[in-house]
Structure 1
Amino acid sequence: MPKDSRQGSTLWSTVLADLRTRLDAGEFTERFPSDRELVAHYGVSRHTVREAVRRLDMIERRPRVGGLVRTPPTVLRRLLDTLTALGVQTSRTTTTGEHHSVEIAGRLDRAPRTLLTVHTAVLRADGGPLICLQICSAASDSVPSELADMLLDGSDRESGQVSVVYEGTVPAAPDPEVCEALGIPTGSVTFCIEARLDLADGAPILQRAYVRPDRYPCILQFSAP
């Protein structure tokens, strides 16, 4: 256990690291401990506990009774929330198609020749295309076409219908149809926000959101796994 005789910065960072480990292990699903309980568990001051918990953005604190662990927003969600905060006017169109892709089928843990359904939504911001979102799933899973709209307006998060298995952001040269949807030359490089999602019934989804990097200034931070 950390002791208050150590440096303050070492104390809260040690508590923070342990809390993150416990969260990753699935603890606190029903309730996050109160400050009093954390002080007793770690043997540190309340100030140290609060400094550690303050850096856990997925914790919703409730005075004296502990807190709840929230699902942290996805990269796509944070981008869309930023657009909303900036007052950017958006609209979108959605289409649906089917095709085969050995690479996508493998990411979905399906057989190579599995028929895939692809829901595509193009988000326009301030009148021009900004994001081309593709939602890929096995055709047999009957994923609703409304899912793409749900991912773009945040209702998936509120309803708990989707959970994130993994996500990442990488530079990508999308297919010609995506370039056309974004209004950029074929072969252009965009950012791709890729995520493996699971629906509430267990059906796996692959999300790929291609973002034009030239519409708005942006900063990306990459860290080692």
Structure 2
Amino acid sequence: MAAKDARRRLEEAFSSTDADKKTRKAESASPLKEKLAKLQKMAQETKSPDDTTAPNSGGPSSSSDSGVLSGLHEISQKMDKRSLTSDLDDLKQSFADQAKVLISEAIDPMQIAMREVQEHVGNLESSRNNNPTSSSSKEVTSLRASLNKLDPALRRVAFLDWPDSVCADVRLKEIETFISSNCASCRPAHIDHFYKGPSGERVPSGVSYAEFRSPDDQYKFLKLTRQLTFNVAGKADLCF
């Protein structure tokens, strides 16, 4: 009776375990410890005093005990494997959910900013297409104003026709003297020369220049010295 009862209970346990495979919720709702305790209780019941066969005789009781323990071990392994698989699946899903949140937090602001830039560019293109003449005129005016501020030629005055015999230092001194004598309020920011000749043998060309701090200073200097001549002692008059 004990062997038959143990076999019947093992079959019920296996059938219950197989039924738990159908849904993960049912499996997770029944803890592993509870199932193992149930099976251990079954194994103990098979060794009750009602069984008159000696434990070591190798009879039905010994065989049933061995079957119960074997079944218990097998079910324990299966449950451990299923529990581990379920935990890994839950962990993977948790990582996937966290990754989605992090990606969304990093990408969404960039996408919003890109959409705003695209809308702004689209509005500019639409405005230019609707009024090309006005847009083009404003752009050209703005570009010219920017170039005028950067172009050093609008702040320079050139001193021409220097003889080759006049060295760079003498030219520099003559230009400084002329400017301070005729327009002391217009102090140049820089005085230099254009050079000629191969590398390592370059010498001042016939052109030197004074660069003022602003186009207004350049215009003021030219206005004050328009009727003057720039004369270097012992040399011909120079044009500027």
More helix by share: 2
More strand by share: 1
TM-score past 0.5 threshold? no
The TM-score normalised by the length of structure 2 is 0.20
The TM-score normalised by the length of structure 1 is 0.21
